[in-house]
């Protein structure tokens, strides 16, 4: 007898009928039908119990949430919607679950309630599907880079630099309370507490990735990043995962090609390999849509939307063109934008990004050549002296999903930009070295992993696509 997963039992041709399985009870109907789930697939396997053959006390312990061990015969199912079922021979309860207390009852729970039970929410169909897709997307990301000659590098979590220059960092404080460094007034100086140095949690691995690109050629990072921005939106987390490729001898046009090819690959991967979970989430989105007024419903089903991305070119538009479009547009006949764009040079808000993607171009958009003063110090200055070779990729329903740039490779120009922004050269001496010794054109981008998972699952809140969300209100677990 062999132990199987539910996924194997439901999809493989199993010739030996005696099987063994372990999982968690979803429901137990009529003292006869156990719906058993082990996380390997959305579907449950039905285990049919001949109750006369089992002790009543044992059957009472088969409750929603209990972990059980079943052996039996795999037979063709008489029931609807399933090919096979298990005729139970032996039944063992591995872990009881008090039905009065178990939070995940077999009914619809609100996402707010499930967020409070993040440790148990993957026992629901929606969250198990989302997290299986999250895992598949991670795999596809590594697969893409592996197949395209990239090296995976690990950048530090604790760092002395502020890669984005936005000052949105969490400071690192050690716990040796008796030996904290003091400032001149004899007050404890918490800021310099990494063995006397000032450090923070990384906001991006880019600067370190650049050092490896300038030796290994093509590299990428995929790790946690931290932003201390106090934004309570459905698209921001204080801790999120970012994928950051960095490539030597590649300019902005090459960067756009890479990002588009990469995004299409990972989305195609889940379309081909995760159809059960995608179809489930697709149906879920359509059911949710039916509850909304016609005007707020999505134009496409989830799967149509994913195919739309894989099958169409991303529209490439300069910031200047985008501003012209936005100045002459309204989000709809009656409404104006909340934030009216008056002058060239202002930053775009998410309402503008979403208008360009969802209403104007109706496809993913790559915006490039932004004003230098709204972008980070490391971006390559264009010959016009006022724009930089930046690019943001905007997706329907999400807005910005990727931010990237060609990097400033000229030592003198980089030094001038740093001086203008009061970034001390001593802090980034190693970064400047890359421009001193064998500098070259190079580019890269950062993909916000959770924003990709949101897009692929059609989940509306970023808190629902990461196992344990860190937001200004939440750092439990």
Considering the complex, state which of residue 399 and residue 403 has its C-beta at the smaller distance from Mg ion.
403
Considering the complex, state which of residue 369 and residue 450 has its C-beta at the smaller distance from ligand 4AD.
450
Binding pattern to Mg ion, positions 69-108, x when CB under 5 A? Answer: ----------------------------------------
CB of 28 vs ligand 4AD, minimal distance in Å = 40
Task: Examine residue 164 and tell whether it contacts ligand 4AD (CB under 6 A).
Answer: yes
Task: Examine residue 448 and tell whether it contacts Mg ion (CB under 5 A).
Answer: no
42: number of Cβ within 10 Å: 20
Distance (Å, whole) CA 8 – CA 151 = 34
Considering the complex, state which of residue 85 and residue 392 has its C-beta at the smaller distance from ligand 4AD.
392
- Nearest residue to the partner Mg ion, using Cβ: 403
> What is the torsion angle, in degrees rounded to the nearest 10, for the CA atoms of residue 340, residue 343, residue 345 and residue 347?
0
Binding pattern to ligand 4AD, positions 384-423, x when CB under 6 A? Answer: ----------------xxxxxx------------------
Distance (Å, whole) CA 212 – CA 104 = 47
32: number of Cβ within 10 Å: 14
Task: Examine residue 445 and tell whether it contacts ligand 4AD (CB under 6 A).
Answer: yes
Distance (Å, whole) CA 477 – CA 397 = 29
- Of these partners, ligand 4AD, Mg ion, none, which one is at the site of residue 408 (CB under 5 to 8 Å by kind)? none
Binding-site size, ligand 4AD (CB under 6 A): 22
CB of 73 vs ligand 4AD, minimal distance in Å = 49
Task: Examine residue 277 and tell whether it contacts ligand 4AD (CB under 6 A).
Answer: no
Interaction with ligand 4AD in 169-208: which residues (CB under 6 A)?
204, 206
CB of 391 vs ligand 4AD, minimal distance in Å = 9
Considering the complex, state which of residue 85 and residue 392 has its C-beta at the smaller distance from Mg ion.
392
Considering the complex, state which of residue 23 and residue 446 has its C-beta at the smaller distance from ligand 4AD.
446
Grouping H, G, I as helix, E, B as strand and the rest as coil, residue 314 is: coil
Considering the complex, state which of residue 24 and residue 319 has its C-beta at the smaller distance from Mg ion.
319
> What single string gives the DSSP state of each residue in 107-154?
S---HHHHHHTTTTGGGSHHHHHHHHHHHHHHHHHHHHHHHTTPEE--
Binding pattern to Mg ion, positions 394-433, x when CB under 5 A? Answer: ---------x------------------------------
Give the helix/strand (H/E) hosting 74.
strand 67-76
Distance (Å, whole) CA 346 – CA 337 = 14
Q: Is 390 exposed, middle or buried (0-12, 13-18, 19+ CB in 10 A)?
A: buried
Residues 6+ apart with CB under 8 A from 384: none
Interaction with ligand 4AD in 211-250: which residues (CB under 6 A)?
227, 236-237, 240, 242, 244
Considering the complex, state which of residue 41 and residue 406 has its C-beta at the smaller distance from Mg ion.
406
CB of 403 vs Mg ion, minimal distance in Å = 3
Two tokens at 280?
């489930």
> What is the torsion angle, in degrees rounded to the nearest 10, for the CA atoms of residue 64, residue 65, residue 71 and residue 73?
50
Distance (Å, whole) CA 147 – CA 331 = 42
Give the helix/strand (H/E) hosting 240.
strand 239-248
Which spans of this chain sit near ligand 4AD (rule: CB under 6 A)? 163-164, 204, 206, 227, 236-237, 240, 242, 244, 400-405, 444-446, 448, 450-451
Which spans of this chain sit near Mg ion (rule: CB under 5 A)? 403
């Amino acid at each position: 007898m062999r132990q199987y997963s539910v996924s194997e039992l439901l999809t493989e041709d199993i010739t030996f009928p005696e099987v063994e399985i372990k999982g968690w009870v979803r429901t137990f109907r009529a003292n006869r039908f156990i719906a058993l789930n082990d996380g390997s697939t959305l579907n449950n396997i039905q285990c049919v119990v001949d109750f006369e053959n089992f002790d009543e006390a044992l059957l009472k312990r088969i409750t929603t949430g209990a972990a059980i061990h079943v052996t039996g015969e795999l037979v063709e199912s008489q029931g609807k919607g399933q090919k096979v079922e298990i005729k139970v021979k032996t039944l063992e309860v591995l872990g009881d679950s008090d039905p009065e207390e178990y939070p995940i009852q077999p009914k619809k729970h609100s996402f707010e309630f499930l967020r409070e039970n993040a440790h148990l929410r993957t026992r629901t169909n929606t969250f198990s599907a989302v997290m299986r897709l999250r895992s598949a997307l991670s795999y596809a990301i590594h697969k893409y880079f592996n197949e395209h000659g990239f090296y995976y590098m690990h950048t530090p979590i604790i760092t002395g630099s502020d890669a984005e220059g936005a000052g949105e960092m969490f400071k690192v404080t050690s716990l040796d309370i008796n030996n904290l460094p003091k400032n001149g007034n004899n007050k404890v100086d918490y800021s310099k507490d990494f063995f006397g140095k000032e450090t923070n949690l990384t906001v991006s691995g880019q600067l370190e990735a650049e050092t490896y690109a300038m030796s290994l050629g093509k590299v990428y990072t995929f790790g946690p990043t931290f932003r201390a921005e106090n934004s309570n939106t459905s698209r921001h987390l204080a801790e999120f995962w970012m994928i950051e490729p960095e490539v030597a001898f590649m300019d902005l046009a090459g960067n756009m090609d890479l990002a588009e090819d990469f995004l299409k690959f990972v989305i195609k991967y889940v379309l081909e390999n995760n159809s059960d979970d995608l179809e489930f989430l697709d149906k879920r989105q359509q059911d949710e849509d039916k509850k909304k007024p016609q005007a707020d419903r999505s134009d496409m089903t989830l799967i149509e939307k994913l195919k739309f991305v894989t099958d169409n070119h991303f529209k490439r538009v300069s910031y200047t063109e985008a501003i012209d479009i936005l100045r002459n547009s309204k989000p709809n006949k009656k409404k104006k934008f909340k934030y009216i764009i008056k002058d060239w040079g202002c930053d775009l808000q998410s309402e503008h990004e979403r208008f360009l993607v969802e209403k104007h171009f109706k496809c993913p958009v790559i915006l490039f050549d932004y004003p230098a003063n709204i972008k980070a110090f490391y971006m390559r200055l264009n010959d016009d002296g006022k724009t930089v070779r930046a690019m943001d990729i905007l997706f329907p329903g999400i807005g910005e999903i990727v931010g990237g740039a060609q990097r400033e490779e000229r030592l003198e120009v980089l030094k001038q930009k740093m001086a203008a922004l009061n970034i001390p050269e001593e802090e980034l001496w190693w970064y400047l070295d890359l421009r001193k010794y064998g500098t070259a054109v190079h580019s890269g981008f950062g993909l916000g992993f959770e924003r990709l998972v949101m897009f692929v699952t059609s989940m509306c809140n970023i808190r629902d696509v990461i196992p344990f969300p860190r937001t200004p209100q939440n750092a439990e677990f």
